[in-house]
Amino acid sequence: MTTDTDPPKESFRLSMLIYDTRYRSTTIQVVALMAFMLAAAWLINNTMQNLAALGKPVEFGFFSEPSSYDINQHILEYDSRDSHLRASFIGLLNTLIVAVLGCATATIVGVLVGVLRLSKNWLVAKIMAVYVEMFRNVPVLLWIVLAMAILIESLPRPSAFRGDNPDATLKLFDSVAFTNRGFYIPEPLFSRSLGDIHLFGQSSLRMDVSLDLLAFVLVLGLSIFAARKVTARADAIQNATGERPTTWYINLGIIVLPTLGLLIAMGFHVGNPELTGFNFQGGIHMRNSLIALWLSLSLYTAAFVAEIVRAGILAVSHGQTEAAAALGLRPNRVMNLVVLPQALRVIVPPLISQYLNLTKNSSLAIAVGYMDITGTLGGITMNQTGRELECVLLLMLVYLTISLVISSIMNWYNNRVKLVER
Amino acid sequence: MSDTHAETVSYVRETMLPEQEPPVTETGVIGWMRENLFSGWLNTILTLLSIGFVYYVLSGLLPWVFQSVWNAESLDECRQIMKATWGETHGHACWAVIKDRWLQLLYGFYPPYPFAPDATVDAPPPEAMLPAYFRPNLTFVLLFIALAPVLFDRAPRKLLIVTAIYPFLMPWLMWGGSLWFPLGIAAGFVILYLVISMGQVRLGSLLAVIAGVIAALLWWSVIMGYVTAGLDQVVPISLPSVESRQFGGFMLALLLGVVAIGLSLPIGVLLALGRQSDLFIVKSLCVGFIELIRGVPLITLLFVASVLLNYFMPPGTNFDIIMRVMIMVTVFASAYIAEVVRGGLAALPKGQYEGADSLGLDYWQAQRLIIMPQALKISIPGIVSTFIGVFKDTTLVSIIGLLDPIGLSQGIRANQEWNGIYWELFAFIALLFFIFCFSMSRYSMWLERKLQTGHN
């Protein structure tokens, strides 16, 4: 016996594209795609017509022309005869510098404020609440401009440091000068330097990497690796016997002695800034713009980080702390082994998105004249060459790349902590 | 043991003692201070340090704020007055700059009497019937009337009419020009609504929506121009026009903020729905758009507004910079709103979607009646903090040369009379922003508590 379960054969009608749910989604998608492509074609067509009318075809040749402007804060050697591409590269490095400095400071200040805001001390908690509300509710651009104004208007001129009885003196054992042209801080010098290696020849990405720094990082890394081995061995002994050998002095020795030895071997000393003529020589010159940007970005972001940290700690239920205490753990072990691992899972994703925000906000550098990628590629290069389309699109691409890199790190972390979840 | 004890004790109390008052050191102000300020040596040190810090800040701040100069023409004059009064120029505010420039900081170069362009606040035109800055002030007051029924459910429902009219009234009041233009724009929406509601029965919902959109676009792009021009000839009703470059100050920040906030919520919800949808192409377009916008700083989008947007338009169109900035800020805000709303959508239990399906609701009914009310409620804190962020970010327009408070402050500081002043100016601007942002955040906390239906 056979039953015919096939529905009666239906002929395809055009109206089924809309009324039949089997085809409707395809219809909508095709319409959406066509609309999008039409809109894109319209925009591109308009742009091409407008650019042709202006006699500016899209091309990137201007990048190899000399930039003929100066960048006052540069970590790699650069002068105005270098190409626009080199200028943009220096700008990108400046963006990354202020982003890294800002993220580090914002984390330290933010964690401190967040923890103190949960303090049982009423006064301290209130002061931190005032800090958070004050910074969160005022635009970051205002903080940046204000910080710049304070630095310029209230600090002494370099000439105030001159003479037998100067108006201003160097701070911190004569090593740091706060002037209205920026901060002069000591620089590390090596009398038996290993020299530099030159990478990337004469291209726009060329850079001199100090071998001293490389050696220092290498030795430090190896020492830390060795110290972790020692700790791992101590853990193994503890697991086997219950007794934990004291390791902190071995670790300290392993980390400190080789690096100290290396520094002595390379003849490490500190070069203090010195007043010669009208300005300071020697030392590292951090411009006002960098300081203002760094300070205000990190204090502003720290207010948000503080709230994230507070929320993260509050998210760990009190029962967890009590259970840990019932197991006989000491308070700092409760924090390290029970509260922090759970709180971090809540804290880290929004924290990284704050890092992302800080990096994007660093583009406000253009308001105080710090030459980051927005100031170079999106600022002077764009104005000098008149290539708005190319410059703005490239600028967006650069920031998009940075953002995607940071958010892929965040996704990687999220996936990693997810495995721990049950 | 107990026997001997019983024999040796001569008196055993048989009733309970009344409860004693807690010791003085545990109650009242002293008890509170012992618990919250001096509970241990670490806490005591922290308290003392904090008291010192607060004293240090207040001892500098209070004299600076209150022992200040209000009447002066320039910073030099301020300093002379300070020297004469207190013997020093340090530690006293010169609020005279605010007194001198507060109108500019609030309104930019918006004409106080638009029908008499040369008149100023100090020299009003003789036949001035309306007070200075009547139009922006009225727009500002109407904003709150229009917002009231949306924000507070105890406000009278009839005010919703103001809310519906406001989007068309606001541009007319601010920019002026013919009344028929905003009415024409509004008529387009009426056409859209009519076509959809009439076509619903005959054509089905999807076709009706498409027909409505096409009809409205036709009206706006082709027919409206002739109709409004004709009506303008017959019944000319218009306000004196104000050009966009005259806009500025805190008014501009509010204008940009309100427009971006108002438009970004619906667009953001649509983008979030698109991102959650099963349609692959729609989803990819939404994801691409959201990630692109969220991945770049607002300032690059403002560069697009200031230098590129005119390239994207047909040759010969040149529309105004404030409009372009509004578009880009809205685009920016809607990408962020979309992500917040998506979080709310993802947080809803799957059962809600299935429940809606089992009731036989179609997609839009399910979204409107079941999904969105809950998803939006979950995302209120995120939405409001996005709004606060957008409002603060409107200050970035000073970088592309618009005269918002920060842009104006640069001009005032470069001015010969006020060269060298900064604390007073920035404190004033910061206070303006603080008031608005802080009230927004308090409102969202209040709303969250009000909508709280769970029991924790």
Domain positions in chain A: 63-153+274-417, 188-271
Domain boundary at B239, B257, B285, which?
A: B239
So what's the pLDDT on residue A136? 93
Pick from A168-177, A316-325, B427-436: least confident = A168-177
What integer is the mean pLDDT of A190-218? 81
- The pLDDT, as a whole number, for residue B310 is 84
Nearest Cβ partner of A120 from B43, B206, B307? B43
pLDDT, tens only, B130-156: 788 888 999 999 999 999 888 888 888
Q: What is the mean pLDDT of residues B355-364?
A: 89
Selecting from B37, B297, B420 the residue whose C-beta is nearest the C-beta of A122 gives: B37
Q: Which residue of B has its CA nearest to A54?
A: B311
Confidence band (pLDDT; 50, 70, 90) for B4? low
Q: What's the mean pLDDT in A292-304? A: 95
CA distances from A121 to A115, A164, A288, A316, B41 (A): 11, 48, 37, 21, 12
On whether any CB of chain A is under 8 Å from the CB of B162, the answer is no
Report the alpha-carbon distance of residue B217 to residue B223 in Å, rounded: 9
At B355 the pLDDT is 93
Question: Do A366 and A374 meet the contact criterion of CB atoms below 8 Å apart?
Answer: yes
Name the residue among B37, B434, B441 with its Cβ closest to that of A121. Answer: B37
**Closest CA–CA distance from residue B387 to any residue of chain A (Å):** 12
Residue B219 lies in a domain: yes
Distance from CA of A286 to the nearest CA of B (A): 22
pLDDT tens digit string along B395-414? 999 999 899 999 999 889 88
Give 3-state DSSP helix, strand, coil % of chain A, rounded to 5: 65, 10, 25
Q: Does the beta carbon of B346 lie under 8 angstroms from any beta carbon of chain A?
A: no
Yes or no, beta carbons of B422 and A153 under 8 Å apart: yes
| Residue A378 in contact with partner chain B when CB distance is under 8 A | yes
A127 in contact with B, Cβ within 8 Å: yes
User: How high is the ipTM of this complex?
Assistant: 0.88
The more confidently predicted of residues B54 and A2 is B54
Q: Is residue B340 predicted with pLDDT exceeding 90?
A: yes
Quick: pLDDT tens for B155-176: 888 889 999 999 999 999 998 8
* pLDDT for residue A104: 95
Please report the DSSP string for B379-403 in residue order: THHHHHHHHHHHHHHGGGGGGGT--
CATH 1.10.3720.10 fits A63-153+274-417, yes or no: yes
Task: Please give the single-letter amino acid code of residue A309.
Answer: V
Percent of chain A at pLDDT > 70 equals 96
Taking 80 as the threshold, does the pLDDT of residue A61 lie above it? yes
**For residue B273, pLDDT beyond 70:** yes
Determine the distance in angstroms separating the CA of A294 from the nearest CA of chain B, rounded to an integer.
Answer: 17
Residues above pLDDT 90, as percent of chain A = 36
Using DSSP, state whether B28 is helix, strand or coil.
Answer: helix
Q: What total number of domains does chain B contain?
A: 2
Would residue B196 count as lying in a domain? yes
For every residue of B278-302, DSSP letters joined together read: S-HHHHHHHHHHHHHHHHS-HHHHH
Write down the pLDDT at residue A4.
56
Q: Mean pLDDT check: name the lowest of B4-13, B157-166, B269-278.
A: B4-13
Give the pLDDT of residue B72.
Answer: 87
Angle at the Cα of A195 from the Cα atoms of A193 and A199, rounded to 5 degrees: 155
Asked, for residue B227, whether it belongs to a domain, the answer is: yes
- pLDDT for the residue B5: 56
| pLDDT band with cut points at 50, 70 and 90 for residue A143 | very high
Give mean pLDDT, residues A17-42: 85
Give the pLDDT band of residue B57 (cuts 50, 70, 90). Answer: very high
Quote the pLDDT of residue A388. Answer: 87
- Residue A188 exposed, middle or buried by CB count within 10 Å (0-12, 13-18, 19+): middle
Q: Kindly tell me if the per-residue pLDDT of A66 is higher than 90.
A: no
| Max mean pLDDT range (B36-40, B88-92, B369-373) | B369-373
Closest chain B residue to A49 measured between Cα atoms?
Answer: B315
CB contact under 8 A, B206 and A124: no
Classify residue B215: in a domain, yes or no: yes
Whether residue A170 is predicted with pLDDT greater than 60 in this model: the reply is yes
User: Of B51, B285, B300, which has the smallest distance from its Cβ to A123's Cβ?
Assistant: B51
Q: A156 vs A167, A287, B311, B418, B421, CA distance in Å?
A: 8, 14, 47, 20, 16
Per-residue pLDDT, B245: 85
Q: How confident is the model at residue A421 (pLDDT cuts 50, 70, 90)?
A: very low
Q: B217-241 pLDDT, tens per residue?
A: 999 888 888 888 888 888 888 888 8
The mean pLDDT of A337-345, rounded to a whole number, is 87
Average pLDDT over residues B428-433: 94
Mean pLDDT, residues A174-194 taken together: 83
Of B296, B393, B437, the CB nearest to A400: B296
Mean pLDDT value across residues B68-90: 88
Dihedral (CA of A44, A48, A54, A58) sign:
positive
- pLDDT: which is higher, A279 or B363: B363
Task: Kindly tell me if the per-residue pLDDT of B455 is higher than 60.
Answer: no
Which of 27-46 (B) contact A at CB < 8 A? 36-37, 39, 43, 46
Structure tokens, B50? 């904090």
Contact B296 A399 (CB under 8 A): yes
Interchain CB distance below 8 Å, B307 and A392: yes
Residue B60 lies in a domain: yes
- Pairing outcome for strands A274-276 and A196-199: unpaired
The shortest C-alpha distance from A13 to chain B (Å) reads 16
- Which residues of chain B make contact with A128, given a CB cutoff of 8 A? none
- Residue B298: list chain A partners with CB under 8 A: 360
Q: Which domain holds residue B195?
A: 177-239
Q: Do A122 and B36 touch (CB under 8 A)?
A: yes
pLDDT at B6 (0 to 100): 55
